[in-house]
Structure 1
């Protein structure tokens, strides 16, 4: 899955669920959308980590695929939206338990994201996380290129929500373009950027 000059990658399995959730919670702790979800700084990392875990578990269980670097410093959490999507088992109950007093924030984000989700068949990149110590080392690009190669071969587009302009530029370099409408408003001053990647001609 990797060339001699790129990091070794593999498909995550059940024993990777907790390490990947830990990685995402560390990599995403600075994001405005996560601060919106859990304003309480003392609980933010714990609550958000349990939320990520629901989706990591769901993807690994067959709803999509999680690709990780062998060293565990980066992960991409993908969902197959070429057919009717599903949600994690017992999602509403589990979300209420982990979110506590912040449940309305999570429900608001879920609804906004679903309202703006494209209906055309695609693969959905929910999380692309790189350990902060490894930012700007090409790990995110390697993960994208790996899955994009397969999607291109199968003629399948991809969709994601970027969390900021820097991420937008990364995804643009990998063939993503802005959609209309281009943003999802999470709260005042916090938006997600809708991006679509048609399959690329690899010839």
Structure 2
């Protein structure tokens, strides 16, 4: 069983919350194998991910939904996706500007995720992060449970990419099924596409077949 903090209130974030949420997401994502691959220079990692999430929070507030906890210790950025991705003409330029000399790897990840993305209506969990000092205490599960309650009321599926086995196992406990891993390069970190299907007769549908337009890098 996963632990969900019942003492936390989850609400929709606003622009006023960005100064508090930015360091939470930057610190949560600037460690681990993905961060080491994307930004090989350790001294640059926190600055790069701070710029990256400044941009991603702006996009999330503008085009999606950002959830946070009442104590601002965690955040999740969600989007609604239809059969085709929504056009964001400023996305690639903003991503390059935010990540500077490390942009090629961030753009490679972005292209890989888009190529593998399911082509049917669903909710997309683009990012979820918790203050590193408070991880493994149910904050992430509270954010997930809040979103899933609304999605289940619509019987809408959800999709995400897990960046390590620990997170993959957490999402599995919340009803997600993992597909075959994908890598941006042969030496890059693996990511697991994960699908939380609709309920049919009390049984949740299993993971989608691979996107026919996706080809794994050689």
The structural deviation recorded for 1:9 is 1.4
The whole-number CA distance in structure 1 between the counterparts of 2:182 and 2:189 is 9
1:46 corresponds to which residue? 47
2:128 corresponds to which residue? 128
For the residue of structure 1 that corresponds to 2:182, the secondary structure is strand
For the residue of structure 1 that corresponds to 2:72, the secondary structure is coil
For the residue of structure 2 that corresponds to 1:166, the secondary structure is helix
The whole-number CA distance in structure 2 between the counterparts of 1:88 and 1:27 is 26
1:192 equivalent to 2:180? Answer no
2:101 corresponds to which residue? 101
Identify, as 1 or 2, the structure richer in strand: 1
Q: Deviations over 1:37-69 (max 9, x none)?
A: 2112111111122112222211212x2211101
5+ residue gaps, structure 2, are 203-218
Assess if the C-alpha contact under 8 Å between 2:82 and 2:119 holds in 1: no
The whole-number CA distance in structure 1 between the counterparts of 2:96 and 2:132 is 29
| Count of equivalent residues | 198
The whole-number CA distance in structure 1 between the counterparts of 2:95 and 2:46 is 15
For the residue of structure 1 that corresponds to 2:181, the secondary structure is strand
5+ residue gaps, structure 1, are none
TM-score normalised per structure 2: 0.83
Change (3 A) 1:33 1:88: farther
- Report the RMSD for the aligned CA atoms in angstroms: 2.2
The whole-number CA distance in structure 1 between the counterparts of 2:143 and 2:121 is 21
The whole-number CA distance in structure 2 between the counterparts of 1:50 and 1:88 is 18
TM-score normalised per structure 1: 0.88
The structural deviation recorded for 1:20 is 2.0
